């Protein structure tokens, strides 16, 4: 079972469960954002970060790690990532590390190098099989413990969790999402059972006939229709680009704003690029399309920054990324441009060839001179 995916889904959808697990008030979750952060020097990402939403220096940020397989290098990796993160982002909040194990047998303590850290109040190690029975009164802890529940008792514990959720959760949409997540955990734990069999085991067939569930289902269908329509339009944009239509015609035919079409096309062009190429392309787009983000002093800084650099894309990308860290609004705008499009079925062979050609031409224009031209507009 892919336990890390399950846990990160739980924490993404129900961040209060994390705070219940570390014996903190669940309402603390409202002050945090569960996210990930890339560490640029080594091109890796910390996946489980709870970052305070407001600038309150007394609130810690949490690095959450789920470890269900033995890993002798785990603490080398955790603390290596942590201190690189501290060096790069210089957060104003104190750090905390939470490592979640199914049991102690999985852990490799590495006390030789990390004893002072592991025994400090900044590091909390949780062994799910050792949580006290009283913890089961917490909905979040009960759902989390489902992940390690033996297959023969998992269905009963899932039914209890659903019953508790129905008592405690007043928002029908939140309840539906949690029930779906509980069902997914049981699907992973009982792979020999069909989805219909598991629904019957958890008494979900009866639940899904209730008025509340039907209303929530209708809301979900409407959301799905909206997403399906958007997906179809993205596919149409891809095909129209491949056949040489201009932006204005595409926008008019699909009843979309010209800006949306332009942004979508830029993202499509970036899809097959390397990360450094994507960053250069998106930064040029910021300079040309969102000029108001840059003041005269910042443009001067940029020109001076890249002047002595070579034409190597990786070097230019790293320099731009490091510079942007000093300007959160620019960094945030670039991150938004780099968000991927949803996956879409492959276009026709002709469209694929045309797109490959346009992407090749685009790469030819990604260089130091293109950056300078965008700065000096």
pLDDT single digits (tens) 123-160:
999 999 998 877 778 999 999 999 889 988 999 999 99
Closest of 151, 147, 140 to residue 68, by C-alpha: 147
Domain of residue 329 covers 227-375
**With contact defined as beta carbons under 8 Å apart, do 126 and 101 qualify?**
yes
Question: Based on the domain organization, do 183 and 293 belong to the same domain?
Answer: no
Residue 107 pLDDT > 90, yes or no? yes
Confidence of residue 112 (pLDDT cuts 50, 70, 90): very high
Q: pTM of the full predicted structure?
A: 0.56
In a domain, residue 222? The reply is: no
- Indicate if 134 and 18 belong to the same structural domain: yes
Is 107 contained in some domain? yes
| Phi, psi (deg, nearest 5) at residue 46 | -85, 120
Tell me the residue length of the chain: 377
Question: Is residue 294 situated within a structural domain?
Answer: yes
Q: Distance between CA atoms of 139 and 130, rounded to whole angstroms?
A: 17
| Residue 233, pLDDT score | 66
Q: Are residues 342 and 253 located together in one domain of the fold?
A: yes
Note whether 2 and 117 are same-domain residues: yes
Contacts of 55 (CB under 8 A, 6+ apart): 92
**Rounded CA gap, 76 and 363, in Å?**
38
Please tell me whether residues 156 and 141 are part of one structural domain: no
Q: Is residue 52 part of a domain?
A: yes
pLDDT at residue 316 in the model? 86
pLDDT tens track for 313-326: 888 888 888 888 88
Question: Would you state the torsion angle of the CA atoms of residues 203, 207, 208, 211, taken in this order, to the nearest 10 degrees?
Answer: 170
Are the beta carbons of 118 and 111 closer than 8 angstroms?
Answer: yes
Q: Which of 364, 338, 320, 341 is nearest to 268 (CA)?
A: 341
User: In the chain, pLDDT over 90 holds for what percent of residues?
Assistant: 25
The C-alpha atoms of residue 94 and residue 19 are separated, in whole angstroms, by 17
**Within a domain: 19:** yes
**What is residue 371's predicted lDDT score, i.e. its pLDDT?**
82
Confidence of residue 312 (pLDDT cuts 50, 70, 90): confident
Task: Please check whether residue 16 is in contact with residue 184, taking contact to mean a CB–CB distance below 8 angstroms.
Answer: no
Are 241 and 141 found together in one domain? no
**pLDDT at 105 exceeding the cut of 60:** yes
In a domain, 322, yes or no: yes
Residue 26's domain is classified under what CATH number?
A: 3.40.1350
Of 120, 148, 176, which residue constitutes the final position of a domain? Answer: 148
| Angstrom distance (rounded) from CA 178 to CA 140 | 10
In this structure, what are the phi and psi dihedrals at residue 62, rounded to the nearest 5 degrees? Answer: -115, 130
In this predicted structure, the answer to whether residue 252 has a pLDDT above a threshold of 60 is: yes
Confidence of residue 360 (pLDDT cuts 50, 70, 90): very low
Lowest mean pLDDT among 32-36, 262-266, 300-304: 262-266
Domain-embedded: residue 220: no
Same structural domain for residues 238 and 368? yes
Does residue 127 form part of some domain? yes
Shared domain for 204 and 240, answered yes or no, is: no
Per-residue three-class SS string for the chain: CCHHHHHHHHHHHCCHHHHHHCCCCHHHHHHEEEEEEEECCCCEEEEEEEEECCCCCCCCEEEEEECCCCCCCHHHHHHHHHHHHHHHHCCCCCEEEEEEECCHHHCCCCHHHHHHHHCCCCEEEEEHHHCCHHHHHCHHHHHHHHHHCCHHHHHHHHHHHHHHHHHHCCCHHHHHHHHHHHHHHHHHHCCCCCHHHHHHHCCHHHHCCCHHHHHHHHHHHHHHHHHHHHHHHHHHHHHHHHCCCCHHHHHHHHCCCHHHHHHHHHHHHHCCCCHHHHHHHHHHHHHHHCHHHCCHHHHHHHHHHHCCCCCCHHHHHHHHHHHHCCCHHHHHHHHHHCCCCCCCCCCCHHHHHHHHHHHHHHHHCCCHHHHHHHHCC
- Is the predicted pLDDT of residue 265 greater than 50, yes or no? yes
- The structure tokens 């789920």 sit at 66
Where does a domain end: 105, 130, 148? 148
Write down the pLDDT at residue 361.
46
| Structure confidence by residue, pLDDT tens digits, 208-243 | 665 555 555 555 444 544 455 566 667 777 766 665
* 234 & 367 share domain: yes
pLDDT digits (tens, 9 = 90+) for 8-37: 778 888 899 999 999 999 999 999 988 877
* Local confidence band at 333 (pLDDT 50, 70, 90 cut-offs): confident
Look at the chain and report how many structural domains it folds into.
3
Residues 156 and 143 in one domain: no
Q: Which residue do the tokens 């069909």 mark?
A: 194
Residue position matching structure tokens 């108001």: 292
Mean pLDDT over each residue of the chain, to the nearest integer: 79
What pLDDT is recorded for position 313? 83
Query: Do both 25 and 46 map to the same domain?
Result: yes
Please check whether residue 342 is in contact with residue 231, taking contact to mean a CB–CB distance below 8 angstroms: yes
Q: Quick one: pLDDT at residue 209?
A: 63
pLDDT(344) > 50: no
**Claim to verify: residue 371 and residue 320 sit in the same structural domain:** yes
Could you give the CA distance from residue 249 to residue 150 in angstroms, rounded to a whole number? 59
Task: Check whether 248 has a pLDDT greater than 50.
Answer: yes
| pLDDT (0 to 100) of residue 325 | 84
């Amino acid at each position: 079972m892919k336990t890390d995916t399950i846990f990160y889904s739980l924490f993404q959808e129900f961040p209060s469960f994390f705070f219940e697990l570390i014996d903190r008030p669940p309402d603390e979750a409202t002050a945090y954002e569960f996210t990930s952060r890339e560490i640029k020097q080594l091109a890796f990402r910390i996946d489980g970060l709870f970052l305070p939403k407001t600038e309150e220096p007394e609130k810690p940020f949490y690095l959450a790690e789920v470890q269900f397989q033995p890993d002798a290098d785990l603490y080398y990796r955790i603390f290596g990532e942590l201190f690189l993160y501290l060096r790069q982002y210089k957060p104003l909040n104190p750090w905390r590390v939470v490592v979640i194990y199914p049991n102690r047998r999985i852990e490799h303590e590495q006390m030789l190098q990390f004893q002072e850290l592991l025994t400090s109040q900044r590091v909390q190690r949780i062994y799910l099989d050792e949580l006290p029975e009283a913890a089961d009164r917490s909905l979040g802890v009960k759902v989390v413990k489902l992940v390690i529940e033996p297959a023969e008792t998992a269905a009963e514990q899932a039914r209890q969790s659903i019953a508790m959720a129905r008592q405690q959760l007043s928002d029908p949409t939140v309840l539906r999402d949690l029930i779906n997540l509980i069902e997914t955990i049981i699907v992973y734990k009982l792979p020999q059972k069909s989805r219909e069999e598991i629904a019957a085991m958890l008494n979900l067939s009866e639940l899904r006939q209730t008025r509340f569930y039907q209303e929530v289902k209708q809301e979900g269908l409407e959301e799905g229709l909206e997403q399906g329509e958007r997906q179809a339009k993205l596919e149409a944009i891809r095909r129209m680009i491949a056949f040489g239509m201009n932006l204005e015609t595409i926008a008019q035919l699909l009843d979309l704003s010209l800006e949306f079409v332009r942004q979508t096309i830029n993202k499509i062009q970036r899809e097959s690029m390397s990360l450094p190429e994507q960053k250069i392309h998106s930064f040029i787009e910021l300079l040309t399309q969102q000029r108001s983000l840059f003041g005269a002093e910042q443009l001067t800084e940029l020109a001076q920054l890249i002047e002595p650099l070579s034409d190597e894309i990786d070097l230019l990308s790293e320099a731009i990324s490091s510079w942007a860290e000093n300007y959160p609004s620019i960094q945030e705008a670039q991150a938004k441009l780099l968000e991927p499009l949803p996956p879409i079925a492959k276009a026709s062979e002709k469209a694929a060839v045309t797109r490959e050609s346009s992407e090749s031409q685009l790469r030819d224009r990604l260089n130091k001179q293109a950056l300078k031209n965008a700065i000096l507009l």
